[in-house]
Structure 1
Amino acid sequence: MTNRPAGLEAMKRAAALRALDLVEDGMVLGLGTGSTARWLVEELGARLRAGALTGVSGVATSRATESRARALGIPVRELPEGGLDLAIDGMDELTPDLQVVKGLGGALTREKIVAAAARRFVLIGDDSKRVTRLGEKAPLPVEVVAFGARRTAHLLAELGCEPRLRLAGGEAYATDNGNVIYDLHFAAPFDPHAVARQLDATPGVVEHGLFLDMAERAFLAGEHGVAEVGA
């Protein structure tokens, strides 16, 4: 155990630093979105400016991440056909076997594209993200095409959940892709793999926040240090 952070932001930074140690010169890196991934971008920029890392470029999972990365001097590029060396991102829920819910930050589609393109996918966060089962603490975000969204929501409800349209400023929240998000609230435990298959087959669904069997490991920071899960 290392790094004994006193506050939540210090914990997030500590987890990001542990993951950043996996980054090597010349890598093409997937840059996540969210409050913990923001620390990754900040610290990556600092290492590049200091010359501690060279030749690293990033593929951003959101416009916000891209804007911050460019401001910090991180070379940002399109997702290459050959994929990525490594993707690092946060999570909203994490089970002991590295099953994950993501998407409360609204970037789930680009995050999944990047994670799937990476040879290695690593998660970062704080201890509050630990759960015994998915859906325990957070809803399941689903990105939906705006056209026919109410019909799609009706189909989503047949999964045994309550779909709630995500709002921002009193209006439907719009993703970077121009779609809307329904957050699915399950009152009872569900089978993540079965739900993922049903969502994949639902017309109007662009992507969902179930990241199953994708992550190699996770770094979780708590009051007593950073724990590594899954390695």
Structure 2
Amino acid sequence: MADYKLEAAKAAFKFIKTGQTIGLGAGTTVLHLANMIGQDVDLARSVVLVSSSFKTNSYLQEQGLNVKSASAVKHLDIYFDGCDQFDQQLNALKSGGGIHTTEKILASMAAEFILIGDDTKFVPRLNTTYPLVIEILPQALQIVLAKLRSAAYPDAEIKLRMGDQKDGTVISDNGNLLADIRFDHTPQWQQLNIDVKMIPGIVEHSLFYGMATKAIIAGENGIRFITPEQ
């Protein structure tokens, strides 16, 4: 059986040039891409790598690659990352890892933000299969929950993420709380992008609206390069 994530990584690798500063997110496809960079002597020596993921960052360091903290750079040539789901306009939900705040910071630094992965991630329009994840300042928890439930999205189900191997909530890399919001019907994503971010105490949410410039996906029909419809 073909490894579509590997095929997508191979296609993405062709976009990287020597001397660039490259951002990498999380996931299997990204790790394939990191391997390819490490195996290319010229690239490995010349590129600077920045990652939003603790796991990816650790892997890059183990490979002896030139890794910098996000706080040490202000521009990326390309940021590559996967997602849970994206649509024809390249609006994406990145709900799994809970590191969307750092991912958005890197995506906003990049001249190009390219989604990579297998073609099961593509849908004509985003739907409610995956939750919207919000990162919340701990001191704002109750007011954030109250505003979401009473005003913005009263029919939504909101649950704090709880640890499987510890007693208590999951804490983000930034020391904040994470909550999943599940909608009973598909929201207006453009308006949601604004409404949720405007609630004081919410640091970020996992909808990447209008941020990606290209998607590279692989499947039974080969490699597809998708750009937002005009």
What's the offset of the Cα at 1:149? 1.7
| CA distance, structure 2, for counterparts of residue 107 and residue 46 of structure 1 | 27
Alignment match of 1:226 (pick from 223, 226, 229): 223
Alignment match of 1:27 (pick from 20, 25, 33): 20
Change in CA separation of 1:218 and 1:15 when aligned onto 2, cut-off 3 Å: same
Mark the runs of 5 or more structure 2 residues left unpaired by the alignment: none
Bigger mean CA deviation after superposition, 80-89 or 207-216? 80-89
| CA distance, structure 2, for counterparts of residue 135 and residue 151 of structure 1 | 27
Equivalent position of 2:35 in the other structure: 42
Amino acid corresponding to residue 66 of structure 2 in structure 1: P
- Structure 2 contact 19–43 (Cα < 8 Å) conserved: no
Bigger mean CA deviation after superposition, 116-125 or 138-147? 138-147
- Structure 1 contact 17–40 (Cα < 8 Å) conserved: yes
Cα deviation 1:91-122 (Å, max 9, x = unaligned): 11110111111131111000000000101110
Equivalent position of 1:105 in the other structure: 97
1:206 aligns with 2:203: yes
Where 1:152 maps in the other structure, the secondary structure is helix
- Structure 1 contact 120–215 (Cα < 8 Å) conserved: yes
Cα deviation 1:36-64 (Å, max 9, x = unaligned): 322222222222xx445541011110222
Percent identity, aligned pairs only, is 32
Alignment match of 2:50 (pick from 59, 68, 82): 59
Equivalent position of 1:11 in the other structure: 4
What's the offset of the Cα at 1:88? 0.5
Alignment match of 2:140 (pick from 148, 152, 168): 148
1:76 aligns with 2:71: no
RMSD over equivalenced CA pairs, Å: 1.8
What's the offset of the Cα at 1:207? 0.5
Cα deviation 1:170-190 (Å, max 9, x = unaligned): 531111111121111111111
Change in CA separation of 1:56 and 1:212 when aligned onto 2, cut-off 3 Å: same
TM-score, with length taken from structure 2: 0.89
Equivalent position of 2:158 in the other structure: 163
- Structure 1 contact 62–176 (Cα < 8 Å) conserved: no
Equivalent position of 1:183 in the other structure: 180
Change in CA separation of 1:41 and 1:167 when aligned onto 2, cut-off 3 Å: farther
TM-score, with length taken from structure 1: 0.89
Change in CA separation of 1:52 and 1:111 when aligned onto 2, cut-off 3 Å: closer
Cα deviation 1:192-230 (Å, max 9, x = unaligned): 110111111101101111111111110111133221111
- Structure 2 contact 83–115 (Cα < 8 Å) conserved: yes
Bigger mean CA deviation after superposition, 146-155 or 117-126? 146-155
Aligned length: 222
Mark the runs of 5 or more structure 1 residues left unpaired by the alignment: 1-5
Equivalent position of 1:92 in the other structure: 84
